[in-house]
Amino acid sequence: MKPVLDLATTRVLVTGGTGFLGRAILEKLLARGVEAHSLARSDAPELRQLGVQTHRGSVEDPATVRAAVARADIVIHTAAKAGVWGDPAAFRAINLAGTRNVVEACRQEGIRRLVHCSTPSVVFGGEDLEGVDESTPYPAHFESAYPETKASAERHVLAAAGPDLATVSLRPHLIWGPRDPHFVPRIVGRSRAGRLRMVGDGRNLVDTIYIDNAADAHLLAAERLEPGAPISGRAYFLSQGEPIAVGTMINHLLEAAGEPPWTRSVPAGLAHAGGAVLEGIYRLLRLPGEPLVTRFLARELSRSHWFDIGAARRDLEYAPAITTGEGLERLRDWLRENPVP
């Protein structure tokens, strides 16, 4: 499907603009001469220096969201609470109620295009997902508040598509690259602390996506989105298009950070059972932080989850511009200048 819109003639609001993906999208918008706006909880002096018009506040506040949305023609919604552990109410407030606020603000302000960032975890019920497409149903049960609330949010976004508001939901899987504040630091931190364990043998295949490819895909969707467009009301998996063994990918990331490869593992069943016990203890004692392992994390690390991205290639004309090898080189160069503390 060819573009129906020239983004350079629009104003684009990115929620979660100070986040890993949000910032990457904003930088690409600025490079194309787009009037770029950000809505984020924290102050964003670096974004303002780049030329982004910043709005400070949370998607949990309807008035704040509406005020920011009123300045835009298109909304790209990336704000979310991620993680394998935490207060379910906090996940619901940001991921579900926050997304509902964004949709309602678009309706109130007459915004006709909403690109929503989702996750493939919305269809992960704990079993292997191998080459599945977007016809895969949501599972009946989730082992974590994150995928559960993201699934509910995605349903709401897609149901909102109609003659006055076009919506699309993108599902990038395991985003990584320079400035990654979550995936790489977490792996490196556990490795240095001697707490890194592979769950299972590490041979299960997973999809990942390099940060620039994920950002590009959101702009491709925005260019093709309008009420009545074929992509409106649909979800799309996004990845590098080259599944890789999870143990191999983790070693690549460790090597890029100058760390040794993982050497120890734990059986998948034992990790899942241990996660259930630890979750119970943390809830009972109301302990701070998060368990060393949770049921959801044990499943994620030990199961295959890779996806057919044929629909994104066809409808969005998505093609990963940065290969995994090139992305790892870029990450390695960045980490030399910005080592994980």
Which residues form the catalytic set? 146
Among 32, 58, 19, 3, which residue's Cα sits nearest to residue 11? 32
Among 183, 217, 211, which residue's Cα sits nearest to residue 297? 183
What is the per-residue DSSP string for 68-127? HHTT-SEEEE------SSS-HHHHIIIIIIHHHHHHHHHHHHT--EEEEE--GGGG--SS
H/E stretch holding 225 reads: none
Query: Strand pairing partners for 199?
Result: 266
Over the range 109-133, which residues count as b (16 or more CB within 10 Å of their CB) and which as e?
bebbbbbbbbbbbbbbbbeebeeee
Q: Which residue has the tokens 């999208």?
A: 25
In the DSSP assignment, the letter for residue 258 is: T
10: left (phi over 0), alpha (psi -120 to 50) or beta: beta
**What is the spatial order of strands in the sheet that 113-117 belongs to?**
53-56, 35-40, 11-15, 74-77, 113-117, 166-172, 234-238
Q: How far apart are the first and last CA of the chain?
A: 44
Query: Strand pairing partners for 114?
Result: 75, 167
Query: Strand pairing partners for 130?
Result: 306
C-alpha 26/C-alpha 211 separation (Å) is: 12
Among 120, 126, 123, 133, which residue's Cα sits nearest to residue 174? 120
